[in-house]
């Protein structure tokens, strides 16, 4: 018979994640292991993502630990899933700790969008101190800031009632010719 490949398992896990069936996602992951196929971090991310989609952070974090025991290294997508969920649930210190772990483990400067997960975008509450700290860390990182990140940071400053900072960030965005209509909304 035909032996399924790791790639076909990834597609299956992704489909099952979209269906929201965490039991099936885990069951098929176990089958993948039983077939002596070596899963990669993308496979584990589908399980983490399935739990994140249900806001079950405990299980998502548990699977991050399982990945490490399997000798897999969490990748950018792993951190993005977890940081975004922590931030969305208002667990900002946990999100910040994970951000710092990512920076330490991966020895690279995270993309601008990671900073926006922490500054917020004006649609989810962030204390002023958080917006201040993370927008400053974004500037200090000296990385290219894309339009979506600028828009999020402008929204975050507007949501804490600081029109001056929102205008300053918009001016920066204009200076870099990255302004979008959404930034003015």
For the stretch 2-55, pLDDT in tens is 677 899 999 999 999 999 999 999 999 999 999 989 999 999 999 999 999 998
Q: Given this model, what pLDDT does residue 1 score?
A: 62
User: Any idea which residue has 């249900």 for tokens?
Assistant: 54
Higher-pLDDT residue of 78 and 109 is: 78
Higher-pLDDT residue of 123 and 51 is: 51
Q: How many CA atoms lie within 13 A of 168 on its CB side?
A: 10
Q: What is the mean pLDDT of residues 126-149?
A: 92
Mean residue pLDDT of the chain comes to 90
Kindly tell me if the per-residue pLDDT of 124 is higher than 90: no
Q: Is the pTM of this model over 0.85?
A: no
Contact of 100 with 81, CB cutoff 8 Å: no
Q: How far is CA 150 from CA 33, 73, 103, 172, in A?
A: 42, 30, 21, 9
Kindly tell me if the per-residue pLDDT of 163 is higher than 80: yes
Q: Given this model, what pLDDT does residue 161 score?
A: 94
Q: What is the number of residues in the chain?
A: 185
What one-character DSSP code corresponds to residue 108? S
Kindly tell me if the per-residue pLDDT of 128 is higher than 70: yes
Kindly tell me if the per-residue pLDDT of 107 is higher than 90: no
What one-character DSSP code corresponds to residue 174? H
Residue 147 burial (10 A CB sphere; 0-12, 13-18, 19+): middle
Residue 43 burial (10 A CB sphere; 0-12, 13-18, 19+): buried
Q: Given this model, what pLDDT does residue 166 score?
A: 95
Q: Given this model, what pLDDT does residue 170 score?
A: 94
Kindly tell me if the per-residue pLDDT of 136 is higher than 90: yes
Residue 36 backbone class (left: φ over 0; alpha: ψ -120 to 50; beta: rest): left
Q: Would you place residue 117 in the very low, low, confident or very high pLDDT band (cuts 50, 70, 90)?
A: confident
Map residue 111 onto helix, strand or coil: coil
Q: Given this model, what pLDDT does residue 89 score?
A: 86
């Amino acid at each position: 018979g035909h032996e399924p490949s790791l790639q076909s398992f990834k597609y299956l896990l992704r489909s099952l994640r979209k269906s929201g069936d965490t039991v099936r996602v885990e069951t098929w992951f176990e089958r993948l292991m039983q077939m002596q196929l070596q899963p990669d971090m993308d496979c584990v991310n589908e399980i983490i993502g399935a739990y994140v989609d249900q806001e079950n952070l405990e299980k998502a974090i548990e699977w991050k630990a399982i990945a490490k025991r399997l000798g897999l290294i969490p990748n950018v997508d792993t951190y993005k899933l977890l940081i975004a969920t922590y931030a969305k649930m208002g667990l900002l210190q946990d999100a910040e700790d994970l951000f710092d772990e990512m920076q330490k483990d991966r020895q690279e400067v995270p993309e601008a969008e990671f900073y926006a997960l922490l500054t917020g975008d004006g649609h989810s509450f962030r204390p002023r101190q958080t917006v201040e700290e993370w927008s400053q860390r974004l500037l200090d990182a000296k990385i290219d800031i894309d339009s979506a990140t600028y828009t999020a940071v402008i929204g975050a400053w507007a949501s804490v009632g600081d029109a001056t900072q929102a205008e300053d960030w918009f001016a920066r965005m204009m200076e870099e010719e990255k302004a979008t209509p959404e930034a003015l909304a």
